[in-house]
Amino acid sequence: MKTLKFARAIKEGFLNFYRDKWLTLATISVMALTLFLIGVTVFLGLAVHQTIANIEKRINISIYFNFDVPEDDIIAIQKSLEEKNLSEIQKIEFVSRAQALEQFKTYSDNDPDILDALDVVGENPLPDALVITAADTSNYESINTFFEEEYSALISNTSYRKNKGTISQVRDRMIFVRNATSFLSILFILIAGLVTFNTVRMSIYAHRKEFEVMRLVGASNTYVKIPVIFEGILYGLASAICAVIVLIVLVYLVDPFAKGILEDANISGLYGSQALTVVLSMVAGGFVLGMGSSYIAIRRYLER
Amino acid sequence: MSLIRFENVSMVYPQGAPILRDLNFEIEQGDFVSVIGVSGVGKSTLLKLIYAEERPTEGRVFFGERDVSTIKKRLLPFYRRNFGTVFQDSKLLDNKTIYENVAYALEVQGKSSAQIGEEVPKILEIVGLSHQYDKYPGQVSGGEAQRASLARAVIHRPRVLVADEPTGNLDPNATWNIMQLLLKINEFGTTVILATHDTATVDFVQRRVIVLQDGSIVSDKQRGMYED
């Protein structure tokens, strides 16, 4: 009998969802909008984190070796460090004097003045170097100290001292952006949650007289509750599907414009790689918000 | 033993004047009782005390041997299955058809689909709504809605039918129909408790009449008329 009553209660939820078309439409519109906000927030959060990770990848320090240190010795140091597999270091790259000069010329756009200056110097003034990318920007200080202490006799200079201020500034800003994004995400999700809760509550308020009648004809509280909670879940899932569709369309519409502004922006690519996370967040958000809101709202009417 | 017994029952709504004062009466199984009095005298409250929508401030209401006030909240829906209720507004569920509204009373009790499919058409025929079964409450007349409400109230064969101003919104013809149905239901053994201020209905029934005035019973006659 319990199974029969449960199946009937579920059918009730479906019928309410289907028959109260205007109420359903109004509820889903507002919920879809708030879930869309959650989706955009999650997506932007992921985009910010990915952008920060990309920026972090571009930060590195160069360890310049004395001119009399043979190239093979430097490559041996690189290999020995790579074999140690240090957690602080993500990548070690050897840049020879010749490569350094080529890069310098490229960076300076083959400026005639610089080329003349190099001619005057006569020989390549740039030393061999190891370019280190750290696993985390906070590791650069210790990496630099390590090289300065361990290989002091071989090293002429490092770029860390010169770039220390910039690295720390970039790091501070990234931490700020990361924290601000997390804070805003939580704030938006809270707002979205409150709006959804109130929307579902209003739709249940519209049914309040029916609950009284249901109880008068002998429906148990559970029998009244299940259809309402199920209806709430349906609201949540339908809203999530609408919000996901709008988000996907928006991502592909915005992508070309973003590429026009930022050369390496790839919103659709990022969305593609994170689509499952974003879609699951929205569907789970819809499910939980729909179910939770309806459960809390219906309890009020059944307390008497 | 009486079916319903009021023992020194008084009722005061929070921050309000007393609505019922020291009521003592009994109703037997199979009775047809009209509770009459002007609007606001406490007729609806008296009915609510019977089906435990309200609890008395003082005194006790018994259903059989059971003190209604002692029934736990979660068990109230099961207690209420002893009753069928009809109100001035039919209180049908707007998003269900007439058939579904009537069937709902059986569904909540876990009756089988086969039983529901057998019982509902029968009761709809008795109340004269066979042809309106697929209409929604908004698509039928007030009298038809009230007949559907009556069908829903009795389909599970309750021991007591509680009717609170069931003819209040109806024209004389529809009123006559409803009263005929109430009498027929009573003939089948169901106790009927009717609250009304409509003189014609009470005169038509000519059964037991309890008169309420200022929250107290001022008259209780076995075969009464409104003007008695």
Beta strands in A84-239 (DSSP E): 89-95, 129-134, 155-158
Shortest Cα distance, chain A CAs vs residue B110, angstroms: 6
Distance, in Å, from the CA atom of B148 to the CA atom of A109, rounded to the nearest integer, reads: 90
Mutation test of the interface with chain A: which of B44, B86, B109, choosing the one with the most A Cβ atoms within 10 A?
B109
CB contact under 8 A, B108 and A223: yes
- Nearest-Cα residue of chain A relative to residue B103: A217
Q: Give the closest residue to A32 by CA, choosing from A272, A292, A234.
A: A234
Which residue type, as a one-letter code, is found at position A108? Answer: S
Q: Give the closest residue to A286 by CA, choosing from A245, A258, A254.
A: A245
Task: Answer whether residue B91 shows pLDDT above 80.
Answer: yes
CB contact under 8 A, A217 and B110: no
Shortest Cα distance, chain A CAs vs residue B223, angstroms: 30
Could you tell me if B101 and B120 are in contact, meaning their C-beta atoms sit under 8 angstroms apart? Answer: no
* pLDDT given for residue A50 in this prediction: 76
Share of chain B above pLDDT 90, in %: 57
Distance, in Å, from the CA atom of A132 to the CA atom of A139, rounded to the nearest integer, reads: 11
Mutation test of the interface with chain B: which of A21, A216, A221, choosing the one with the most B Cβ atoms within 10 A?
A216
Cβ-Cβ contacts under 8 Å between A and B: the total is 58
* pLDDT given for residue A271 in this prediction: 66
Q: Which residues contact B134 (CB under 8 A, 6 or more apart)?
A: B97, B98, B99
Task: Answer whether residue B129 shows pLDDT above 80.
Answer: yes
Q: What's the burial of A22, exposed, middle or buried (CB within 10 Å: 0-12/13-18/19+)?
A: exposed
For chain A, give the longest Cα–Cα distance. 102
Highest mean pLDDT among A116-130, A194-208, A269-283, B51-65: B51-65
* pLDDT given for residue B227 in this prediction: 60
Q: What is the DSSP letter of B108?
A: T
Angle between helices A160-205 and A221-261 (to 10 degrees): 140
Q: Cβ atoms within 10 A of the Cβ of B149, count?
A: 27
CB contact under 8 A, A217 and B152: yes
Choose the closest CB to A217 out of B94, B105, B110.
B105
Please tell me the least confidently modeled range out of A86-95, B46-55, B116-125: A86-95
3-class secondary-structure state, position A159: coil
Could you tell me if A140 and A88 are in contact, meaning their C-beta atoms sit under 8 angstroms apart? Answer: no
Could you tell me if B80 and B48 are in contact, meaning their C-beta atoms sit under 8 angstroms apart? Answer: no
Q: Which residues of A129-149 are buried (b: 16+ CB within 10 A; e: fewer)?
A: bbbbbbeebebbeebbebbee
- Residue B24 banded pLDDT, cuts 50, 70, 90: very high
Query: With a CB-CB cutoff of 8 Å, which residues 60-119 of chain B face chain A?
Result: 74, 76-78, 80-81, 85, 91-96, 104-105, 107-110, 112
Shortest Cα distance, chain B CAs vs residue A239, angstroms: 22
Distance, in Å, from the CA atom of A220 to the CA atom of B84, rounded to the nearest integer, reads: 15
Could you tell me if B77 and A218 are in contact, meaning their C-beta atoms sit under 8 angstroms apart? Answer: yes
Query: Could you tell me which residue, B47 or A18, shows the higher pLDDT?
Result: B47
Beta strands in chain B (DSSP E): 4-12, 18-27, 32-36, 58-63, 66-67, 83-86, 160-164, 191-196, 208-213, 216-221
- Residue B145 banded pLDDT, cuts 50, 70, 90: very high
Angle between helices A112-121 and A97-107 (to 10 degrees): 150
- Nearest-Cα residue of chain B relative to residue A211: B93
Share of chain A above pLDDT 90, in %: 4
Q: Give the closest residue to B217 by CA, choosing from B27, B36, B28, B13.
A: B36
* pLDDT given for residue A261 in this prediction: 60
* pLDDT given for residue A17 in this prediction: 83
3-class secondary-structure state, position B170: coil
* pLDDT given for residue A267 in this prediction: 65
Distance, in Å, from the CA atom of B53 to the CA atom of A265, rounded to the nearest integer, reads: 64
Shortest Cα distance, chain B CAs vs residue A50, angstroms: 50
- Nearest-Cα residue of chain A relative to residue B105: A217
- Residue A42 banded pLDDT, cuts 50, 70, 90: confident
Task: Answer whether residue A258 shows pLDDT above 70.
Answer: no
Task: Answer whether residue A145 shows pLDDT above 70.
Answer: yes
Segment A38-56 shows an average pLDDT of: 77
Distance, in Å, from the CA atom of B152 to the CA atom of B109, rounded to the nearest integer, reads: 13
Distance, in Å, from the CA atom of B140 to the CA atom of B148, rounded to the nearest integer, reads: 10
CB contact under 8 A, A218 and B77: yes
Give the residues across from B86 on adjacent strands: B163
Task: Answer whether residue A244 shows pLDDT above 70.
Answer: yes
| Phi/psi-derived region of residue A109, left when phi > 0, alpha when psi is between -120 and 50, beta in every other case | left
* pLDDT given for residue B206 in this prediction: 85
* pLDDT given for residue A194 in this prediction: 86
* pLDDT given for residue A260 in this prediction: 63
Mutation test of the interface with chain B: which of A208, A217, A223, A231, choosing the one with the most B Cβ atoms within 10 A?
A217
Segment A271-277 shows an average pLDDT of: 74
Q: State pLDDT tens for residues A168-182.
A: 887 788 888 888 888
Segment B63-71 shows an average pLDDT of: 92
Helix and strand numbers, DSSP H then E, in chain B: 7, 10
- Residue B137 banded pLDDT, cuts 50, 70, 90: very high
Q: Cβ atoms within 10 A of the Cβ of B21, count?
A: 18
- Residue B44 banded pLDDT, cuts 50, 70, 90: very high
Q: Cβ atoms within 10 A of the Cβ of A246, count?
A: 16
Measured CA distances, B54 to B32, B57, B73, B76 (Å): 22, 9, 11, 11
Tokens of B163: 């009717």
Choose the closest CB to B93 out of A2, A4, A213.
A213
Choose the closest CB to B95 out of A5, A20, A223.
A20
Task: Answer whether residue B16 shows pLDDT above 90.
Answer: no
Shortest Cα distance, chain B CAs vs residue A296, angstroms: 18
Query: Could you tell me which residue, A118 or B103, shows the higher pLDDT?
Result: B103
Choose the closest CB to A218 out of B53, B91, B108.
B108
Please tell me the least confidently modeled range out of A118-122, B93-97, B117-121, B180-184: A118-122
- Nearest-Cα residue of chain B relative to residue A9: B108
- Residue B208 banded pLDDT, cuts 50, 70, 90: very high
* pLDDT given for residue A15 in this prediction: 84
Q: What is the ipTM of this complex?
A: 0.73
Q: Which residues of A185-198 are buried (b: 16+ CB within 10 A; e: fewer)?
A: beebbeebbebbbe
What count of Cα atoms within 13 Å lies in the side-chain half-sphere of residue A229? 14
